[in-house]
A and B are shown apart, each in its own frame.
Chain A
Amino acid sequence: EVRLVQSGAELKKPGESLKISCKGSGYSFTSHWIGWVRQMPGKGLEWMGIIHPEDSETRYSPSFQGQVTISAAKSISTAYLQWSSLKAPDTAMYYCARLTDAPFPNVDYWGQGTLVTVSS
């Protein structure tokens, strides 16, 4: 069974750093791109960027370039999303998602989400 298990909810202050995780199991972690998705309160899904765990090739959507860092540790089948200095507008639910290994990939499995709250 394919599973993506994310780290727990976080409450942080503006200016703090944060790294959340997404651990894959039940499939070959290094064969599939992993993406990160932001969902702000009451809003839609925003595609942030992707990483290929085999070689850590990373690509960012323009809105998120320079705002976050996506990384992966293939030895422990885990992808990460991190911020160096959080802001209040970063308050959102963050999902990781697996892309299919097809020639033209799309999202098939989702993590359960990590709620990040940034408040002074």
Chain B
Amino acid sequence: QSALTQPASVSGSPGQSITISCTGSSGDVGDYDYVSWYQQHPGKAPTLMIYDVSNRPSGVSNRFSGSKSGNTASLTISGLQAEDEADYYCSSYTSDSTLVVFGGGTKLTVL
């Protein structure tokens, strides 16, 4: 299974909103509502921000939201803050034997 496709980078100013896309295909994003998003700060392990397309784990700011249309899932961060600057990865359940496929990652820069 090929990796999911994310933009290499996005940027926004404090207070603005940005959206990161994650494009897959049938067999993963297109067929299942089991897309997750992770935030990774430099030198740190990833942490779960969104699961099952649009659900937030306890403790995650409601500035983070997720959605999906067809083969593309999206992560939206509203009211950008400096602390949001990080790498973001999507993942999806896949019908492939290894069960999970990741996106290539997106670097978010807060200007």
Q: Identify the stretch in B14-22, B64-72, B77-85, B94-102 within 8 Å (CB) of chain A at 4 or more residues.
A: B94-102
Report A-chain residues with C-beta under 8 Å of the C-beta of B93.
Answer: 104-106
- CA A102 to CA B52, docked complex, whole Å: 11
**A50 contacts B32, C-beta separation under 8 Å:** no
Kindly state whether residue A113 has any CB partner on chain B within 8 Å: yes
B64 to chain A, nearest CB (A): 16
**B34 contacts A102, C-beta separation under 8 Å:** yes
Kindly state whether residue A24 has any CB partner on chain B within 8 Å: no
Contact residues of B between 22 and 45, Cβ < 8 Å to A? 32, 34-36, 38, 45
27 contacts between A and B (CB under 8 A): A33-B99, A35-B98, A35-B99, A35-B100, A44-B87, A44-B103, A45-B46, A45-B105, A59-B98, A60-B98, A61-B98, A95-B46, A100-B51, A102-B34, A104-B32, A105-B34, A105-B93, A105-B99, A105-B100, A106-B52, A106-B100, A107-B100, A108-B57, A109-B48, A110-B38, A110-B46, A112-B45
With A44-B105, A50-B99, A108-B51 given, can you name 10 additional A-B contacts, CB distance below 8 Å? A35-B99, A35-B100, A45-B46, A47-B98, A106-B35, A106-B92, A107-B100, A108-B57, A109-B48, A111-B45
Instruction: Say whether, besides A45-B89, A109-B48, A104 and B34 are in contact (CB < 8 Å).
Output: yes
- Chain A interface helix/strand/loop/mixed: strand
Count of chain A residues with a beta carbon within 8 Å of a chain B beta carbon: 26
A104 to chain B, nearest CB (A): 4
**A47 contacts B48, C-beta separation under 8 Å:** no
- CA A109 to CA B47, docked complex, whole Å: 7
**B45 contacts A107, C-beta separation under 8 Å:** no
Kindly state whether residue B12 has any CB partner on chain A within 8 Å: no
Report A-chain residues with C-beta under 8 Å of the C-beta of B103.
Answer: 44
- CA A59 to CA B92, docked complex, whole Å: 17
Task: With a 10 A CB-CB cut-off, give which of A95, A104, A110, A113 has the most chain B CB atoms.
Answer: A104
- CA A49 to CA B57, docked complex, whole Å: 25
Kindly state whether residue A46 has any CB partner on chain B within 8 Å: yes
Render A77-106 as a binary contact track against B, CB cut-off 8 A, 1 for contact.
Answer: 000000000000000000100011010111
B24 to chain A, nearest CB (A): 13
